[in-house]
Amino acid sequence: MSDAPLTKEQVQALLLKGPFHQWLGLTVEDVGEGTIRLRAKWRPEWVVNADKGYAHGGILATLVDLTADWALVSKTGRGVPTVDLRVDYHRAAMQHDLICVGKVIKFGGQLCVSEAQVLDEDGKLLASGRGVYMIPPKA
């Protein structure tokens, strides 16, 4: 693909090529050049504590990583592998759809930095993080 920005529909089509992304129930709500907003449909399989009903932190980390990553894909039009990732957990995710917002912080020639937040439907911050991603050379 080229380094041309992608439309919301193009990002949605690319995102849903991955079976894991399909399983997460991801929907692209908005996309801009270097920004993205996703919705992840709640799944009971995310629950780690049956008594309390909250999601496993690995789901939140996954959503931080893929949201930050896809903020870059929205700008480059191609995949960007993760080099480094940091995630902070702020509160438990409780049985509701999750809103994921990502933006590119630095767009470099080979390495880029993006960050993401995972919010509940009321806009409360559940997790946040920042990743370093590699822009592979064009084929």
What pLDDT is stored for residue 78 in this prediction? 79
pLDDT at 37: 97
- Provide the residue-wise pLDDT of the chain in tens; the chain has 139 residues: 445 678 899 999 999 999 999 999 999 999 998 999 999 999 999 999 999 999 999 999 999 999 999 999 878 877 789 999 999 999 999 999 999 999 999 998 899 999 999 999 999 999 999 999 998 777 6
Distance CA(27)–CA(71), nearest Å, equals 14
Is CATH 3.10.129.10 the right assignment for the domain spanning 8-134?
Answer: yes
Provide the pLDDT for residue 1.
41
Q: Which residues contact 39 (CB under 8 A, 6 or more apart)?
A: 25, 26, 27, 29, 97, 98, 99, 100
